[in-house]
Structure 1
Amino acid sequence: MTDHSVFVVDDDQAMRDSLLLLLRGEGIRARGFASAALFLEALPDEKSACVITDLRMPQMEGTELIQRLRVLRGETWPIIVITGHADVPLAVQLMKAGVIDFIEKPFDPNRILEAVRGCLSVLERHGVESEVREQTAARLATLTPRERQVFDALIDGKSNKEIALILDISPRTVEIFRAKVMQKMQATSLSMLVRLGLSVADA
């Protein structure tokens, strides 16, 4: 289903095992940890992953784990919280902290699978966007200084005539540079070129 892993952090072995069985039965790569401390101690070095964590655990509670993961991994590791002790203020606080879903025990297995699939789809989308940015940056590096000036002006919404005035070259020369930029950036249209430029600008 995906190249991303799901890590289950729960001190309740029966709950942990049932979640792992459920996820693996759907073809999802999943690993379990008996505590937040053990998870952080053996923190996998995967670039992105999904984490399912309980809140009330010995040694370190789920809220502290969430805070530490936000510092260590940021948005590349989306988090799903499961808990038998839910309240509205806590749910709001966790969602503001970046938790993408909050599920109360006991829960329907389909509810967990829905949350995990949503989590994994976010990671897949981030992965595609990251790949596009890397490819765009590599193509930008092949542009000559003059081609980069034309590229920047096009992304800024300038017309050929305006670019010619800014760079003190003829409109015909701008057209030649524009064609080279389109070819090197592998853009089939101006709108595609703009999207590529914005993907790098937003990085």
Structure 2
Amino acid sequence: MRSTLEQKTAELADQVVRTNATKDASAPAFGEPLNHDAIWPYCQGGMWRYAAQAMPPEGAPEQGYVIHNRVGKLIEARVFGLKTREDADAYSRDLGIQVMRMPRSVRPILCADHRPVGIYPQPAADRLVELFLQMNARLERVAILVSPTNATLTMQLNRFVREASYAPRRVFQRPEEANVHLAPVLDAKELARMREFLDEFKPGAA
């Protein structure tokens, strides 16, 4: 019989992500429904870890994100966690509202800070790819920021970007890199606000 800790871990685990280069054909694929009893040995052995990190951090907004347009054509979004397709739908809707508020002659610039996120469960991930595709024609340039310690989310978001096939959308692990990417299409006030926005997030403070 499993311990309470094992049971709690199994209850949280909706998906698993590979954290070891070792290949194992018997292990479930990302997003595949799990038999928790069957995969518990992998977790114990360190080959797999559960994606309980898909849960938003403590203190995050109830909707799991904040989106603002404070200066010019810059849209700033900070995502804390989207667990379901419905969560991603709400994020898509609110981002769309900000874009629609811009004159049709203006193509907004999006700075999307995903550093608070652990991983996106498959239903939310699928919807985000759809959102990326929908926004290709409306956004002039996009910088997506990911924590440098979260290699799994970096790979996941890079996959989203590849599937959306829009070169001006890129994933970065350092704010300075995002600044370089967006600076050519921002004026001085917009660039200053973007830097303030990225500085507002303090890892571990969410």
Query: Shorter chain as normaliser: what TM range?
Result: 0.3 to 0.5
Higher Rg: 1
TM-score by length of 1: 0.33
**Structure holding more helix per residue:** 1
